[in-house]
Copies of this chain bind each other. A is one copy, B any other.
Amino acid sequence: MQDGSVLAVSADEKTPGSREKGLNRVLEILEFLHTTQRAIGIGDLAKGVNAPRSTTYTLVRSLVDAGLLEMAGDGNRVYFGKKLYLYGMDYVRGNDLLRRGRQEVDHLSRETGETSELCMLQSGRYTIVHSSPGTRPFRISSATGLQIPLPWTASGRLLLAGLDRAAIEAMVSDDDLVLPDGRKLRLEDFIADIAKAGVTGYCVTSGLVDAYTKCLAVPVFSAPGKVEATMCLVVPIDTSEERTADLIGLLRGRAAGLSIGG
């Protein structure tokens, strides 16, 4: 059985006299910096990942030497380093879908004026991989790279299309089914949504993450039947039926262009 608990950052403290593996500490550090989105002092970093100060200093030094982290302006703060940027560019280069998807998303948001996003599964969770803000006065933006429970989003329903019931259950925890406003989704309904989305080839959700927006998503295939990513538009919840349909049509066309044998 898969042990899903990668990076159980805080939470437990199982064995009292247990030491944490250095690599795991590093992974936690990176993840922590990703959430803070800013340079942070090493002391605070140690607190943040709940690691001993001495260990943290050692690890940070290694990472800085390697260029994965950099000391930020002041002198005693750290943040991501150039190496990570370079590796990230390597990833983009080796990944046609991401490269073209980014362009398509930028293009879509300019064309429609709506916020547009490219989403993928990332270690079992929904992730906004690239987003381009719309031209509307109010910005509907979720941070790139943010991990969001799958049931909260239209894309989540598409990304799970094709998986069997057991696989879906394994990816969705009970907490995930609780929406930001406190409502609880029924697992049955979610699974039904997924099935429906798989058939219709698109998905629209209204007022799930917040009360003012509607999310229109379509799948991007990496192989027939395999949903690799989704493209979505985040529009005001009162967008007309007609415009919604138009936008979905547009999305589907573009997604088809991205897909490989869809």
* Cβ-based interface call for A30 (8 A): yes
Interface residues on A, range: 35 or more
A20 to chain B, nearest CB (A): 12
* Chain B positions within 8 Å of A34 at CB level: 86-87, 90
* Cβ-based interface call for A103 (8 A): no
- Tell me whether B38 and A94 are in contact (CB under 8 A): yes
* Cβ-based interface call for A21 (8 A): yes
Alpha-carbon separation in the docked complex, A89 to B87 (Å): 10
Can you list, as one digit per residue, whether each of A44-58 has a CB less than 8 Å from chain B (1) or not (0)?
000000000000000
Contacts A22-B22, A34-B87; A82 near B27 (Cβ below 8 A): no
Alpha-carbon separation in the docked complex, A66 to B90 (Å): 18
A90 to chain B, nearest CB (A): 5
* Chain B positions within 8 Å of A81 at CB level: 91
User: Among B38, B62, B88, which residue has its beta carbon within 8 angstroms of that of A89?
Assistant: B88
Can you list, as one digit per residue, whether each of A113-129 has a CB less than 8 Å from chain B (1) or not (0)?
00000001011000101
Q: Which residue of B lies closest to A127 (CB)?
A: B82
- Tell me whether B88 and A86 are in contact (CB under 8 A): yes
Alpha-carbon separation in the docked complex, A88 to B34 (Å): 10
* Chain B positions within 8 Å of A86 at CB level: 34, 88, 122, 127, 129, 144-145
Can you list, as one digit per residue, whether each of A8-47 has a CB less than 8 Å from chain B (1) or not (0)?
0000000000000111101100100110011100000000
Contacts A7-B66, A67-B123; A84 near B88 (Cβ below 8 A): yes
* Chain B positions within 8 Å of A144 at CB level: 86, 89
Contacts A87-B34, A88-B86, A88-B87; A79 near B94 (Cβ below 8 A): yes
- Tell me whether B94 and A39 are in contact (CB under 8 A): yes
- Tell me whether A37 and B80 are in contact (CB under 8 A): no
**What are 29 A-B contacts with C-beta separation under 8 Å?**
A6-B65, A7-B66, A21-B22, A22-B23, A23-B59, A24-B62, A27-B62, A27-B66, A33-B87, A37-B90, A37-B94, A39-B94, A66-B123, A67-B122, A67-B123, A79-B90, A80-B88, A80-B91, A80-B94, A84-B87, A84-B90, A85-B91, A85-B92, A85-B129, A86-B144, A87-B87, A87-B88, A89-B144, A89-B145
- Tell me whether B122 and A87 are in contact (CB under 8 A): no
